Amino acid sequence: MVNETINRFSVSVSAEISNWGLKFNTEGKAPVGNATYDYLKKYNAYYVDKTDEKIAYLTFDAGYENGYTANILDTLKKHDVKAAFFLVGHYLEEEPGLVKRMINEGHIVANHTYNHPDMSKVFDEESFKKELTSLEAMFKEITGQEISKYYRPPQGRFSENNLEMANELGYKTIFWSLAYADWCKDKQPTKEQAFEKLIPRIHPGAIVLLHSTSKTNSEILDELLTKYKELGYSFNTLDELVDEESKNSKANFFSNFYNFFD
């Protein structure tokens, strides 16, 4: 049954298991993903904004609360930066106050699945759907609102099947083009180690992934955002990313349409 499901899809990305990965070739330039921008776009999935402008998108993953999110929110407010927070069911259950604060302060709250499983091993549509819709239901119960339809696969593990199913559920899958090893609670990087990765690798259109469970991120965020701004970067939201892509797609369609009649 699994093989039948897998064989329905072309193998541009491994249909069985894929770990999202990046290769940085040039400082200040977008890295190469192990799935291309154009390939991902077929499924309304993104890892970078295709732009030459110094725009970045700040995103946080939160599997649990580690005491740092309030400070992170304070810093975002200070810099007037709107971020996206990808949350799991446990976080919604335990921290409804912080979730409501995220919303009230203009941040996007998005879907990181209910149980944070390895989604690359989820092949059947019903199980995949349940991971996303269970979180949707809890979010609506807590906030009275619909969750933003952005989905990030836990640990970046996915399959082509997953991309298609997320798209069919109306979700846009969001990977990243800049991250670093910040997630281990007992092995936090130093400020210097963080900046060694996060400063030289910033690039136009970067989707930056940080974990809100990180003590280091909480401590460096103010200086990090200051440094990014000094380099000329401003911050957009995922809504603006998608809206711009939609505009570009329409513009290309009409351009091709009119060229056909020239």
Rounded to the nearest integer, the mean pLDDT of the chain is 89
Q: Is residue 75 part of a domain?
A: yes
Q: Residue 200 belongs to what domain range?
A: 39-183+190-256
- pLDDT digit string, tens, across residues 113-137: 999 999 999 999 999 999 999 999 9
Would you state the pLDDT for residue 18? 83
- Point out the residues that are catalytic: 61, 211
Would you state the pLDDT for residue 247? 55
> What's the pLDDT band for 111 if we cut at 50, 70, 90?
very high
Query: CB burial class (10 A; 0-12, 13-18, 19+) of residue 80?
Result: exposed
Among 212, 159, 196, 139, which residue's Cα sits nearest to residue 24?
196
- pLDDT digit string, tens, across residues 153-189: 999 999 999 999 999 999 999 999 999 999 999 999 9
Q: Is residue 26 part of a domain?
A: no
C-alpha distances in Å from residue 170, one per residue of 29, 31, 98: 30, 27, 26
- pLDDT digit string, tens, across residues 75-87: 999 999 999 999 9
- pLDDT digit string, tens, across residues 205-251: 999 999 999 999 999 999 999 999 999 999 999 999 998 765 555 43
Tokens 């904004």 belong to 49
Q: Is residue 83 part of a domain?
A: yes
Q: Is residue 9 part of a domain?
A: no
Would you state the pLDDT for residue 251? 39
Q: How many domains does the chain have?
A: 1
Classify residue 188 by its DSSP letter.
P
24 vs 257: CA distance, rounded Å: 37
Q: Is residue 242 part of a domain?
A: yes
